[in-house]
Structure 1
Amino acid sequence: MHLYLYEPRLERRQGLIDELNSARIHPVTIGAEFFRGDLAMLSREGHEARPFLLADLPDTPEIVARMRAAGARNPVLVLRDFRNSRAAAKMLDLGADDDLVVPLKSIELRSRINSITRRSHGHAAESVTIGEVTAYFDGRDPEVAGQRIKLSRREHAIFQQLALNACKVISKAAIYDAVYGMADEQPFDKVIDVYICKIRKKIDTAAPSGHQYIETVHGRGYKLAPADGDEGLSLPPALPALQEARAS
């Protein structure tokens, strides 16, 4: 998982980076000048998946307000040194998704980011089932017909974008931006195609039905979807109450 980290205080930054790396969260450090640029690009398809972790500084409320005014839907989490209910409430009202007090273990931060991300895509549960495929949003590898499918770190990041947008077409550019960052120039245009091919082969090999779950929609992108006639997305068996509520 990658995220953008705004922590200009050098004495705080490295310790935070070390803690994030311990949970396989890879921060891209940014400065105040980032937020003085064109933030409208954050609203482009694919960019909304990249979380922002912001230190609580005097300019942070303005930063959050500017991001939301520009249409950015990225998960935004604020880290503050001391509990301050009034300041936290203001930050949340401005558009932050979470307001946390340090020290914070990276494993908790990862789960909070996953929760915000999946809910922003309309997934309340920790997983979603598409035909024979069960995709998890908590970092676990997917399962096909009950069998775990081992994905590399990059394959997992790409599959996560397909799962978050299950039954919808997502463009190659959006996947690239979500996985590699906001790059207008893609150094290897076929890299997503290569990884999609590898993921597709692993899933198709394990699927008893032989259905090709990752569909290439020519000129538009890719879609993770069940076979025609199968039910669409379903909640995990552990949440029958939510299934009944959705059916009613």
Structure 2
Amino acid sequence: MIILVDDRTDVTDAYRASLGREGVSAASFRPVDFDSWFHSTSGPDLAAVEAFILGDFDRRETVTRAIKTRSGAPAIALNDSSGLESTLKLFAAGADDVLRKPIHAREIIARIGAIRRRITSESKPTDLGDLRVFNDGRDPEVAGQVMALPRRERRILEYLVAHRNRRVTRNQIFNAVYGLFDEDVEESVVESHISKLRKKLRQALGYDPIDTKRYLGYQIVTRNSEAG
């Protein structure tokens, strides 16, 4: 999920639509509403945010500093016009990138991925037997071969691997993949994504690495391990 912050609803609506066409869920806030949401939201819910996109509004430096106190997700500012001083102030406040509009949603997604790779450059990928999973937007590998996955299936796999020591519920996976505010998508869609994902993993690995227990949720396992 990407969070958009701007006073202009026409701007955030346009970016939500363009990001949605790329398979990326987004929610939008006016700056005054964002403050109360951000400071009252739980840590696990904030962990579902992949990036914050800040439009051209007053107090952006303050909002950026606040984001950095509670979240490690990239904060990217979009400027309506060029200006060295404002750009430098944003970087000083902790912005991970400052971009000049107009900019395509695909480029925003690519830049988010690049920032995440830099942030996690010192972290090693997670190996579960022959399966290697990254957390920076790259597709997983099986026995050294890239396994191309649709974005949401890849995000589900990343989430399961990141929480591999415990079970996660359908609701938790939904929030991580679709966000907290997508009322147009049924939570049951997670089951469809997982069904497709486990079929591909079973074919590539020779076993089903996603253990499911009714009412308890899902957990990633290796061939010789037992889920808790």
The separation in 2 between residues aligned to 1:225 and 1:118, in whole angstroms, is 25
Does residue 206 (structure 1) correspond to residue 187 (structure 2)? The answer is no
Matches within 5 A, 1:71-82: 71-82=70-81
Task: Give the C-alpha shift of residue 55 in structure 1.
Answer: 0.7
Aligned length: 221
Q: Secondary structure at the match of 2:71?
A: coil
Task: Give the C-alpha shift of residue 170 in structure 1.
Answer: 6.4
Provide the aligned C-alpha RMSD in A: 4.0
Residue 60 (structure 1) aligns with: 60
Residue 157 (structure 2) aligns with: 159
**Closer, same or farther: CA 64–168 of 1 in aligned 2, 3 Å:** farther
The separation in 2 between residues aligned to 1:112 and 1:217, in whole angstroms, is 37
Residue 111 (structure 1) aligns with: 110
Q: Pick from 155, 177, 185: which aligns with 2:175?
A: 177
Residue 90 (structure 1) aligns with: 89
- Asked if the contact 2:26–2:179 (Cα under 8 Å) also holds between the matched residues in 1, the reply is no
% same residue: 27
Of the structure 1 ranges 196-205 and 125-134, higher mean CA displacement relative to structure 2 is found in 125-134
Matches within 5 A, 1:215-226: 215=211, 222-224=218-220, 226=222
Structure 2 spans left out of the alignment, 5+ residues: none
The separation in 2 between residues aligned to 1:72 and 1:146, in whole angstroms, is 32
Structure 1 spans left out of the alignment, 5+ residues: 230-248
State the TM-score, normalized to the length of structure 1.
0.65
Following TM superposition, where does structure 1 have runs of at least 4 consecutive aligned residues deviating by more than 6 angstroms?
217-220
State the TM-score, normalized to the length of structure 2.
0.70
- Asked if the contact 1:135–1:142 (Cα under 8 Å) also holds between the matched residues in 2, the reply is yes
